[in-house]
Amino acid sequence: MQNDFAESFRYTAGAPGESGGVSGLSVASSDAWTKTDGGYLSSDGSIIKGAVAKGIDVSEHQGEIDWDSVKEAGIDFAILRCSYGWPDDVTSTKQHDKRFAFNASECERVGIPYGIYHYSYAVDASSAAQEARYLLASMGDASPSLPVYYDLEDVTLPYGDATLLGDMATRFCEAVEAAGYTPGVYANLNWWNNYLTDSRFENWSRWVAQYNSSCSYAGSYEYWQCSSTGRVNGISGNVDIDFRIALDSYVSMYRLYNPYSGEHLYTESASERDNLVSLGWNYEGLGWNAPTSGSEVYRLYNPYSSDHHYTMSRDEYNSLVSIGWVGENVCWHSAPKSTGVPIYRQFNPYAWIGTHNYTTSTEERDHLVSLGWVDEGVAWYGV
């Protein structure tokens, strides 16, 4: 495959089309896809169930992107096209996305987590395996923290053979996983319902395209591509809009602030939240969403300073208990690094109480560092 002549529900002769063929595109309001206190708004004004982050997916078709403006516009993640097809020579650059290296480096510079996708023209398992080799060779120095997706949508693919499609995806995804990345598959609703029906597709992250006010796919999925006609500052013209959808197995983590001591406290308990508010604490809203399983995060209480501490280290937990801290056991879990939302930790070297702050916001992190706090990196990951 030498030419990028994609033909699918999104492309005509390699050029992006207008969202036809994905299922009932609703008329979007001016507030569509924006964030409110209640959550993200859909095109019909309803709240998008389970949406925890807003993103975009881009390729060279978007031209040169001003990623600083994209970041300021509230985009939480991006998925970048890296390559397409399967040239025999994996060192060839002919089938690289011309903007990928720039887009990846810019996402890393401004702090936007990103994933990758490879547009497939494969005809069998062998060519799918070669596509995986080509993608991995095309990534260069990129370090995606989100999944690497196999884009199955072109009309040339063998969509009449579910087993063969499963074989192809297996060869691609196993190679991606062996290289240390989280594999996934992208397709539109019609493909997921009618062609990608092999049970092996349950093994990988799903990214579903359905240009509508909601996604009606009945299976589990991690990302929903909801529109091809989005507008985002920093990008000229239309861009695909995506949402990360938290699975049902997560809990909301509440953030509170004690104005008398300066401590922030984090809890999944609504009753603890409400009790602290009744005592004068300030409720600061949702801190992040945490999975209900995964690596354990422990909470401890210092009875001498009335401060709380959080750690993923069982050894640290036991050590603090041995010197008088009160162990409050597992308080939540961390998502995997490969798919999680980073929770940043900062340390205040001047304080005795409220010495640590935890946030998903790079702006809050950077502001505190400018005031003298110490950036201690990522504490754990949310969903």
C-alpha–C-alpha distance, residues 131 and 172, integer Å: 7
Distances (CA, A) of 293 to 118, 182, 379: 30, 18, 17
Kindly report each contact of residues 170-173 with a partner whose C-beta sits within 8 Å and lies 24 or more positions away, as own/partner. 170/125, 170/200, 171/125, 171/126, 171/128, 171/129, 171/132, 172/118, 172/120, 172/122, 172/128, 172/129, 172/131, 172/132, 173/203, 173/204
Q: What is the dihedral of CA 211, 216, 217, 223, to 10 degrees?
A: 50
- Comparing CA positions, the residue from 209, 169, 176 lying closest to residue 82 is 176
- Comparing CA positions, the residue from 301, 285, 306 lying closest to residue 351 is 306
pLDDT in 10s for each residue of the chain, 383 residues: 556 656 565 655 555 655 443 444 444 556 889 988 778 999 988 888 888 899 999 999 999 999 999 999 999 999 999 999 999 999 999 999 999 999 999 999 999 999 999 999 999 999 999 999 999 999 999 999 999 999 999 999 998 899 999 999 999 999 999 999 999 999 999 999 999 999 899 889 999 999 999 998 888 889 999 999 999 999 999 999 999 987 666 788 889 999 998 899 999 888 899 999 999 999 988 888 888 888 999 999 999 988 999 999 999 999 999 999 999 999 999 988 766 789 999 999 988 888 899 998 888 999 999 999 999 999 999 87
Strands 282-291 and 250-257: what pairing? antiparallel
What are the backbone dihedrals phi and psi of residue 74, each rounded to the nearest 5 degrees, phi first?
95, 20
Structure tokens at 341: 């939302």
Who's near 71: CB < 8 A, 6+ residues apart?
Answer: 110, 111, 112
Distances (CA, A) of 6 to 65, 194, 235, 242: 22, 21, 22, 21
CA-based torsion, 162, 163, 165, 169: positive or negative: positive
- Comparing CA positions, the residue from 155, 111, 143 lying closest to residue 342 is 111
